[in-house]
Amino acid sequence: MTSVESVEDRVAAPRKLRFGVNYVPSEGWFHSWLDLDRDAVARDLDDIASLGMDHVRIFPIWPWIQPSRSHVRARAVADVRTVIQLSAERGLDVCVDLLQGHLSSFDFLPSWVLTWHQRSIFTDVDARDGLRSYVEELAGSLSPEPNVFAFTLGNEVNNLWPANATTLDASRDWAQELLAAIRENARGDQLVVHSLFDDAFYAPDHPFSAEDVTTLGDVSSVHSWVFNGTSRIDGPLGPATTSHAAYLARLAGACGAADRPVWLQEVGAPLPDVPIDAATEFVRRTVETASAVSTLTGITWWCSHDIDRRLVDFPEREYDLGLFTVEHVAKPLAHALRDAVESARAQSNHEEPQSISLPADIVADPLARSLVAPGSDFHRAWVRLGEQPDDSFTPPLITPPAPRLSGPETH
């Protein structure tokens, strides 16, 4: 009998970077889960595999799988399994995101937490019971698939606040409970991940914390989007912009265990922050700089395919984030990512980085988070420290704040 490799064994082993794509279906966007077309999915996955990627992250829609708090649709779960198996046929491993939740500016919540049943998914006991049964059912049903390497609790679940009231303590308790439920139903070698967007690191009043990112689950998951104000600092190809992913990875290391693995689970080249003529160079610099972070375990690009413009009401930047058009034409961006990945896989040695200490403990004092936000004095100092004479960038280490030296009292 072959023993199952544990998560601890995997994260302690020599680093082998994963490179993959967040899968956005070319036909019908995520509404395609309502009437899954195997052939359409297979063609999309062929596109992704053609770039030499090793995994995809997929996004089943929560309310379409659990339309009632006491009912998970077996047919919907079978459709998720179909996508996983089609991925396996193309040599692609899969991360399953369980709670959608939030995608591309749309929130997907079941009717049993809305209107007459209005209740916060983070604090209401009945809602949490329903969610626990949902993640237990999906993780238990899908974990036997050999190419499933990870489960993420949900996609940027902090986007579901403030419509669902919560606090720092309640958010953490909620995530701990559900992550434990996933772990109990997952294989020992499968990662369990908590996904939050970057307000957890940057926004003083945000009720989800950097501590959640860096201590809950098996790896720290970061999502790097330069439309958060970063691109306004020095433009699409400036060092602040192309190093933002590495900056988040370094922040994660400073807020948790220094050797905890970091997964760059989302990064993309959004218009207009990254114009088309700058996108390929943005990809090259972003992948190169992020890959220089020694604790990084993988990069998952957003996203596989554009959104069909016949679908309305998306923010403009969402339509053209794909590596492929809806007609399956690979963009220059796709070729740039393929080349950057090949280069990163061949890279073995990195320069020894300099280090800089946080100006405050943003875990112990969440109200200090603005001190490390993009454009802050600290962030700008970090960028200056990493710039090299040859225009390359070596991402400095970020260390916890230096202890204050006590001196004689003055009167």
Model confidence at 4, pLDDT cuts 50, 70, 90, reads very low
* 137-151 mean pLDDT: 98
SS3 of residue 206 by DSSP: coil
The whole-model pTM stands at 0.94
| pLDDT value, residue 391 | 85
pLDDT above 70: residue 176: yes
Per-residue pLDDT tens for 202-217? 999 999 999 999 999 9
Q: Establish if 284 belongs to a structural domain.
A: yes
Give the C-alpha separation, 42 to 378, whole Å: 46
pLDDT mean across residues, the chain = 94
Q: Establish if 308 belongs to a structural domain.
A: yes
| pLDDT value, residue 352 | 76
* 347-366 mean pLDDT: 88
- Read off the CATH number of the domain in which 170 is found: 3.20.20.80
Which tokens in the block code for residue 360?
A: 């405050």
Model confidence at 173, pLDDT cuts 50, 70, 90, reads very high
Q: Establish if 5 belongs to a structural domain.
A: no
Sign of the four-CA dihedral 139, 142, 146, 147: negative
pLDDT above 70: residue 15: no
* 100-127 mean pLDDT: 95
Range of the domain at 185: 14-352
Residue 277: which residues within 8 A CB-CB, separation 6 or more? none
Encode burial over 394-406: b for 16+ CB neighbours within 10 A, e otherwise. Answer: bbbbbebbeeeee
Q: Establish if 58 belongs to a structural domain.
A: yes
Which tokens in the block code for residue 251?
A: 């922040």
| pLDDT value, residue 183 | 98
| pLDDT value, residue 6 | 52
* Beta partners for residue 288, in sequence order: none
Give the C-alpha separation, 135 to 69, whole Å: 12
Give the C-alpha separation, 188 to 374, whole Å: 37
pLDDT above 50: residue 346: yes
Per-residue pLDDT tens for 281-306? 999 999 999 999 999 999 999 999 99
pLDDT above 60: residue 31: yes
| pLDDT value, residue 351 | 67
Model confidence at 93, pLDDT cuts 50, 70, 90, reads very high
| pLDDT value, residue 32 | 97
* 228-257 mean pLDDT: 97
Q: Establish if 313 belongs to a structural domain.
A: yes
- Count of structural domains, the chain: 1
Dihedral Cα 122, 193, 219, 345, nearest 10 deg:
-140
The position carrying tokens 């190419």 is 147
* 196-207 mean pLDDT: 98
| pLDDT value, residue 402 | 78
pLDDT above 60: residue 222: yes
| pLDDT value, residue 350 | 65
Give the C-alpha separation, 100 to 109, whole Å: 8
| pLDDT value, residue 409 | 44
| pLDDT value, residue 408 | 45
Q: Establish if 224 belongs to a structural domain.
A: yes
pLDDT above 50: residue 387: yes
| pLDDT value, residue 411 | 36
pLDDT above 90: residue 164: yes
* 317-337 mean pLDDT: 98
Which tokens in the block code for residue 286?
A: 């972003």
pLDDT above 90: residue 361: yes
Q: Establish if 278 belongs to a structural domain.
A: yes
Between β-strands 106-107 and 102-103, what pairing exists: parallel, antiparallel or unpaired? Answer: antiparallel
CB 147 within 8 A of CB 88: yes
pLDDT above 60: residue 345: yes
Q: Establish if 142 belongs to a structural domain.
A: yes
pLDDT above 50: residue 123: yes
Per-residue pLDDT tens for 253-292? 999 999 999 999 999 999 999 999 999 999 999 999 999 9
Residue 194: which residues within 8 A CB-CB, separation 6 or more? 152, 153, 175, 179, 212, 213, 216, 217, 221
pLDDT above 50: residue 81: yes
Give the C-alpha separation, 340 to 345, whole Å: 9
pLDDT above 60: residue 14: no
